[in-house]
């Protein structure tokens, strides 16, 4: 059976499973739609949370970033993992004790203000749409390569699948679908890692294989060989850090506190019966997450080593099949600078920007691009970082069923998080804006219909952002974490651990933090991308880490405004005391 046939079978079977679960677990009430009735078992919720958490950024893009950033890529591992611990210990049990449906619910009640609730909804929508752009981009990449369609068609297909199980099933359907998706994605991530680790080192455990000697007779360890290979090509040593200390600190901190402010992760802790179950499910989720996160450094290193040795100094006419496959999908390119037909992979960009392919072919048969050349450049190979995990099995010549499994796993990772994000967007519109703010008289049936309409609209916007994303998958997701760190996290933290912060302080803080962080990211990434160099950054902090500054501004503004305005009513103090009681 051909690899392509296996891919169709694996992907179709996984989609049928997800849709079947959605139909079986269709939500019939707002409680089931928003929080799955609040009766999810902690182990099940832990697995669903892990799937919700391990998005396309974790599955597709994180190891790709590590493959090319080397040591610097560790900020994503430290920030996202540490952030989940912060969320589990610091916020989750207290929010579950509060016992409502959404994050804006908590902010609206704690700060006794419809205006605060609306501001929280605006923050939530900014964060969620930024995050979901990365997920839909991941869906498009997987579809474009493995199902032989364009990225746009892939995004549209992904929108259709998410529509079925998110709009029909709500949180109840999403929860049980995410359990299935976790099983698919973790199996798909670990199996090729076991294969490649054994092939390169003789040790099938990738976490150990990363620190083992290669079995090629060189006597070198994996990272020693990788350092030598990339340095010979003009790159910095793989194990050397190039980011400034302040930027490493700020990116890690922004990812950590941003995690604790992500609404689609927080809402998962509203689905368990008790606050104690929230702690248990957080522990289970961390265990399930660690299986992928401890494997990612090995996957990134193996992928970079195999990619470099497979491509560099290879005649394009003899290029491996995987190279031309990804080239056909506009995600890898070769520019023959010296007209020798040999691919030279070196440090630096192959040309200006992502490839803009033409219909013409070069002398060696390569697809030509219309991008401007970079004077003095020596690199002839462009590769989209988001393909590294997906291409890894092909680069290593693994069996067809492994390639098919990775395709299904990549889709599972992207779709699981996309569904969670769409749900919090629809909940924010139907529950927080309609039911709790502008139309309190709406019936439960009307609210449920509004939630489904909002989810449909959100899917359409998400699809557009997936076709035209503002960066790589993990980059886009990092911006969402920065926005969450600067807007929602301080309001939630101060709402739980203080009694004196009032509505005026919370609103002013959220607006300040969100506005500053969004404008900073937009300036360097959208309006003036050419200016996105360290010399122009505020205090040397990149757009990925600026959420920490936004967070500090949020805290400071909230504190100052709260001190010069009226204290909260007495019932707010009683609410905080109730939340804090075990």
Average pLDDT over residues 342-356: 85
Is the pLDDT reported for residue 475 higher than 70?
A: no
The kind and range of the H/E element at 3 are helix 3-24
Average pLDDT over residues 426-442: 75
Per-residue pLDDT of 178-201, as tens digits, reads 888 888 889 889 999 999 999 999
Contact 27, 170 (CB under 8 A): yes
Average pLDDT over residues 389-410: 86
Q: What is the pLDDT of residue 490?
A: 92
Q: Is 166 or 277 the better-scoring residue by pLDDT?
A: 277
Is the pLDDT reported for residue 27 higher than 70?
A: no
Per-residue pLDDT of 206-233, as tens digits, reads 999 998 998 888 888 999 999 998 888 8
Per-residue pLDDT of 74-131, as tens digits, reads 888 888 778 777 877 777 778 777 766 677 888 888 898 888 888 888 888 877 777 7
Alpha-carbon span 292 to 410, nearest angstrom? 13
Taking CB atoms within 8 Å and a gap of at least 24, the contacts of 431-439 are 431/30, 431/34, 431/101, 431/102, 431/105, 432/102, 432/104, 432/105, 432/108, 432/117, 432/118, 432/120, 432/121, 433/118, 433/121, 436/104, 436/105, 436/108, 436/114, 436/117, 437/114, 437/117, 437/118
Alpha-carbon span 254 to 477, nearest angstrom? 12
Alpha-carbon span 353 to 195, nearest angstrom? 34
Q: What is the mean pLDDT of the chain?
A: 82
Q: What is the pLDDT of residue 37?
A: 54
Per-residue pLDDT of 260-317, as tens digits, reads 777 777 777 777 777 677 778 888 888 888 888 889 899 999 989 988 888 888 899 8
Q: What is the DSSP string of 271-325?
A: SSSSHHHHHHHHHHHHHHHHHHHTTHHHHHHHHHHHHHHHHTTEEGGG--HHHHH
User: pLDDT category, 494, cuts 50, 70, 90?
Assistant: very high
Q: Enter the pTM of the model.
A: 0.81
Domains and CATH numbers, the chain: 3-303+395-471 (1.10.4160.10)
Alpha-carbon span 323 to 325, nearest angstrom? 5
Ramachandran sector of residue 54 (left: φ over 0; alpha: ψ -120 to 50; beta: rest): beta
Per-residue pLDDT of 303-330, as tens digits, reads 899 888 888 888 998 888 888 888 887 7
């Amino acid at each position: 059976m051909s690899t392509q046939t296996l891919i169709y079978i694996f992907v179709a079977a996984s989609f049928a499973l997800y849709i079947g679960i959605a139909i079986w677990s269709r939500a019939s009430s707002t409680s089931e739609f928003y929080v799955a009735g609040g009766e999810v078992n902690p182990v099940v919720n832990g697995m669903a949370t892990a799937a919700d958490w391990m998005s396309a950024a974790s599955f597709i893009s994180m190891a790709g970033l590590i493959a090319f950033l080397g040591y610097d890529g560790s900020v994503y591992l430290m920030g996202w993992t540490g952030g989940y611990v912060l969320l589990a210990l610091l916020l989750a049990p207290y929010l579950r004790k509060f016992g409502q449906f959404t994050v804006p619910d908590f902010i609206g009640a704690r700060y006794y203000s419809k205006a605060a609730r609306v501001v929280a909804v605006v923050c939530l929508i900014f964060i969620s749409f930024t995050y979901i752009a990365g997920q839909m981009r991941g869906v498009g990449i997987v579809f474009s390569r493995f199902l032989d369609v364009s990225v746009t068609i892939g995004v549209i297909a992904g929108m259709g699948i998410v529509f079925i199980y998110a709009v029909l099933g709500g949180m109840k359907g999403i929860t049980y679908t995410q359990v299935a998706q976790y099983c698919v994605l973790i199996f798909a991530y670990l199996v090729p890692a076991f294969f490649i680790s054994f092939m390169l080192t003789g040790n099938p455990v990738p976490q150990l294989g990363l620190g083992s000697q290669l079995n090629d007779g060189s006597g070198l360890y994996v990272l020693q060989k990788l350092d030598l290979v990339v340095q010979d090509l003009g790159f910095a040593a793989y194990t050397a850090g190039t980011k400034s200390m302040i930027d490493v600190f700020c990116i890690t901190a922004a990812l950590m506190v941003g995690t604790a402010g992500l609404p689609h992760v927080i809402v998962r802790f509203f689905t368990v019966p008790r606050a104690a179950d929230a702690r248990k499910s957080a522990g289970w989720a961390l265990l399930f997450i660690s299986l992928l996160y401890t494997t990612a450094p090995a996957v990134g290193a193996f992928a970079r080593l195999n990619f470099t040795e497979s491509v560099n100094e290879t005649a394009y006419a003899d290029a491996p099949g995987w190279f031309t496959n990804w080239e056909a999908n506009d995600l890898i390119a070769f520019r023959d600078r010296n007209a020798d037909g040999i691919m030279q992979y070196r440090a630096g960009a192959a040309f200006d920007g992502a490839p803009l392919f033409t219909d013409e072919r070069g002398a060696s048969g390569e697809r030509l691009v219309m991008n401007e050349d970079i004077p003095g450049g020596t690199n002839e190979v462009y590769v989209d970082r988001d393909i590294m995990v997906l291409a890894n099995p092909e680069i290593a010549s693994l069996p067809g069923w492994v390639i098919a499994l990775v395709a299904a796993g990549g889709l599972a990772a992207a779709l699981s998080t996309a569904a969670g994000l769409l749900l919090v967007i629809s909940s924010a519109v139907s529950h927080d804006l309609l039911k709790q703010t502008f139309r309190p008289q709406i019936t439960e049936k009307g609210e449920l219909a509004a939630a489904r309409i909002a989810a449909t609209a959100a899917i359409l916007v998400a699809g557009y952002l997936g076709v035209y994303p503002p960066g790589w998958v993990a980059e886009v997701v990092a911006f969402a974490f920065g926005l969450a760190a600067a807007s929602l996290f301080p309001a939630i933290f101060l709402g739980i651990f203080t009694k004196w912060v009032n509505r005026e302080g919370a609103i002013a803080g959220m607006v300040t933090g969100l506005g500053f962080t969004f404008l900073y990211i937009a300036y360097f990434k959208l309006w003036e991308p050419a200016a996105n160099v360290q010399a122009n950054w505020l205090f040397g902090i990149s757009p990925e880490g600026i959420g920490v500054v936004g967070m500090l501004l949020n805290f400071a503004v909230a504190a100052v405004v709260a001190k010069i305005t009226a204290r909260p009513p007495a019932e707010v103090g009683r609410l905080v005391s109730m939340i804090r009681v075990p």
